[in-house]
Structure 1
Amino acid sequence: MEALFDPDLDLSLIRARKVAVLGYGNQGRAQAANLRDSGIQLAIGAREGQSAEQARADGFDVMPPARAAAWADLVALLAPDETHGRIYAEHLAPNLHPGGALLFAHGLSIHFRLIEPRPDLDIVLVSPKGPGTALRSEYERGSGLISLFAIAQDASGGAEALALSYAGAIGSGRVGVLPTSFAEECEADLFNEQAVLWGAIPELILAGYETLVEAGFSPEIAYFECLTEVKLLADLIAARGVAGMREAISNTAEFGALEGGTRIVTAETRAEMRRILAEVRSGRFTAGLLADAEAGYPRLCAARNAAAAHPIEAVGARLRSLGRP
């Protein structure tokens, strides 16, 4: 896989376009700020409310979504995935310029056909591999986040060059832009979210904390051992890889990993990972997400409430406050 960098990208393409960002959350706010600092003419498409107020406070022009779509040459649809179908049907499809472009940061709504785009549109993906806060902070210090790019529909014949130009404008050309497909990005990301990053790792942290506390260890010690050191692990792996991480830790820690790792991640764990991937690929996960959204997010709200009520949160808040005035 060949990475592309700033010398391979033509920023004049996106600088010649008017860009509307729809969805002013974690990614939308960061991408909009980076685009503006890269000299891109842009507006935020948002209904009146908290997002519109925040965008105005950040110095952006704010338009209703339909008017933003009619004004723009390229719309970056960065709202929550489950809202894309409604936003496209109500605001984008009737108003996007013939020959315009629609950009996504995640492949779900195209890959699973929440949107059936007009055939005259370029449909592109630019997916930064990290949260918006990191995308913005890395840009501000002169670096960036690696992004993936893909093309689902090339009506103009220039969709790839335009996607790469956008990737450069958010700072990814400084560190590398890699090719993928909507399907590959979507399915790999959904799998990772469930089976590794946001699903498995927090559950391991909570299970370890609960095991120690139940055995009589102090909550503070359990917190430090099972949660705080996760950042050390992540930083080492990011800098040196898994093998390099093992070289950087003590022999005791490395032998502990040898003894414990495969007892936690067992053959059954790997079989469950394969089942999760199959559910992602079949569309079962996406159907569940849409059903929860349609019902007002009862499962998500219950999970958020349960997470906030877990004793580890009170311990963490107390420890994080140490040393503060």
Structure 2
Amino acid sequence: MKVYRDEDCDLSIVRAKRVAIIGYGNQGRAQALNLRDSGVSVAVALPADSASRARAMGEGFPVATAAEAATKADLVVMLAADEDHSRIFAVEVAPNLREGAALSFAHGLSIRFGLIEPRPDLDIMLVAPKGPGTALRTDFLNGSGLISLFAVHQDASGGAQALALSYAAAIGSGRVGILPTSFIEECEADLFNEQAVLWGAIPALIHAGFETLVEAGFSPEIAYFECQTELKLLADLIDARGIAGMKEAISNTAEFGALEGEPRIVTEETRAEMRRILAEVRAGGFTRKLIADAEAGYPRLRASRVQAAAHPIEEIRRKIVHLKE
């Protein structure tokens, strides 16, 4: 796989564009700030009643609605919530975006599953930093960056790839690596990972382990330390040394325990369920559920947040944090 770096990117391309960032959340704010620090002209697009307007204006950005920003933009970057893309694009962006402009995403979902059907005159590209906006901004300020994936879905101008690489370099990714992908690959792999590995499986394992120890009579504090706090140690070791290197860094007892436990937790049934999750993602089932929950006012998401906040492990976490103060 070709890895692109700063020397492969021409910053003058994006510096010659008027960029409108739609959204000023975790990614929107970080990308807007990094772009500006790289010499790019940036406006922020937010609803008239958005609470984020004051912050964006306070940090020196011109702020307008998406419709207003689109009329002046050469490049519109969709960094609002995925489930809002269809309405924002159809109602505000598409009628106002000039012919031959470009549209960029940080996630492939809206194109992969047809939430947006762009005009044929537009360049459609993806620049997806592999980490949260807070890390994107912090690493940029520290002289480094986050790896980004990039893809081109539609190259009306003939220069979409060069623009995508220029944009990725401007947010700092050229310092560490910009990797090619496709909208389909990025979207499907990301949705699978969110459900089957990171945000779905790992927190559920922490809860289950905590509950198992407490039910068996262990103190909640000990259960918390064993099942949650050591997760950061694991993540840091894997990040620094890889999984094989992590195993070399831990005790023989811990490594042998992993040898015993892994095949009993990650079973053939677990792998079969992972394959079913991936199949549902590819068939669009997950996206339909996401849009349905959004249109209903997020009842499932809201209930999940309430349930997570009420879990006993959160009370223990608050006690432990208080002890450190």
Matched, 1:211 2:250: no
Alignment of structure 1 residues 171-320 onto 2, 5 Å: 171-320=172-321
Secondary structure class of the residue paired with 2:237: helix
* CA distance in structure 2 between the aligned counterparts of 1:57 and 1:197, rounded to whole angstroms: 35
> 1:57 Cα shift?
2.1
> 1:126 Cα shift?
0.1
Secondary structure class of the residue paired with 1:148: strand
> 1:216 Cα shift?
1.1
* CA distance in structure 2 between the aligned counterparts of 1:321 and 1:184, rounded to whole angstroms: 43
Partner residue, 2:119: 118
> 1:58 Cα shift?
2.0
Large movers: runs of 4+ above 2 Å: none
Secondary structure class of the residue paired with 1:127: strand
Q: CA RMSD in A?
A: 0.7
> 1:164 Cα shift?
0.3
* CA distance in structure 2 between the aligned counterparts of 1:222 and 1:136, rounded to whole angstroms: 34
Partner residue, 1:73: 74
Segment of structure 1 superposing worse, 248-257 or 309-318: 309-318
Alignment of structure 1 residues 78-157 onto 2, 5 Å: 78-157=79-158
> 1:243 Cα shift?
0.7
* CA distance in structure 1 between the aligned counterparts of 2:55 and 2:264, rounded to whole angstroms: 48
AA aligned to 1:237 is I
> 1:299 Cα shift?
0.3
Partner residue, 1:164: 165
* CA distance in structure 2 between the aligned counterparts of 1:11 and 1:301, rounded to whole angstroms: 42
> 1:47 Cα shift?
1.0
* CA distance in structure 2 between the aligned counterparts of 1:196 and 1:32, rounded to whole angstroms: 30
> 1:297 Cα shift?
0.4
Partner residue, 2:40: 40
* CA distance in structure 2 between the aligned counterparts of 1:2 and 1:155, rounded to whole angstroms: 23
AA aligned to 2:29 is R
* CA distance in structure 1 between the aligned counterparts of 2:129 and 2:255, rounded to whole angstroms: 32
Partner residue, 2:22: 22
Secondary structure class of the residue paired with 1:97: coil
> 1:157 Cα shift?
0.2
* CA distance in structure 2 between the aligned counterparts of 1:12 and 1:74, rounded to whole angstroms: 14
Secondary structure class of the residue paired with 2:144: coil
Partner residue, 1:321: 322
Partner residue, 2:31: 31
Partner residue, 2:8: 8
Identity %: 71
* CA distance in structure 2 between the aligned counterparts of 1:242 and 1:275, rounded to whole angstroms: 26
> 1:308 Cα shift?
0.6
AA aligned to 2:169 is G
> 1:180 Cα shift?
0.1
AA aligned to 2:86 is G
Secondary structure class of the residue paired with 1:322: helix
Secondary structure class of the residue paired with 2:80: coil
Secondary structure class of the residue paired with 1:209: helix
Q: TM-score, normalised by structure 2?
A: 0.99
- Spell out, residue by residue over 1:272-301, the C-alpha distance to the aligned partner (whole angstroms, 9 max, x if none): 000000000000000000000010000000
Partner residue, 1:51: 52
AA aligned to 2:11 is L
> 1:321 Cα shift?
2.2
Secondary structure class of the residue paired with 1:28: helix
Matched, 1:64 2:65: yes
* CA distance in structure 2 between the aligned counterparts of 1:295 and 1:100, rounded to whole angstroms: 33
Structure 1 portions without partners, runs of 5+: none
> 1:69 Cα shift?
0.6
Segment of structure 1 superposing worse, 46-55 or 230-239: 46-55
* CA distance in structure 2 between the aligned counterparts of 1:57 and 1:316, rounded to whole angstroms: 34
What is the number of equivalent residue pairs in this alignment?
Answer: 324
* CA distance in structure 1 between the aligned counterparts of 2:91 and 2:318, rounded to whole angstroms: 43
Structure 2 portions without partners, runs of 5+: none
> 1:56 Cα shift?
1.3
AA aligned to 1:166 is Y
* CA distance in structure 1 between the aligned counterparts of 2:32 and 2:321, rounded to whole angstroms: 31
Q: TM-score, normalised by structure 1?
A: 0.99
Secondary structure class of the residue paired with 1:194: helix
> 1:218 Cα shift?
1.1
AA aligned to 1:148 is L
> 1:2 Cα shift?
1.4
> 1:240 Cα shift?
1.0
Secondary structure class of the residue paired with 2:187: helix
Segment of structure 1 superposing worse, 7-16 or 42-51: 42-51
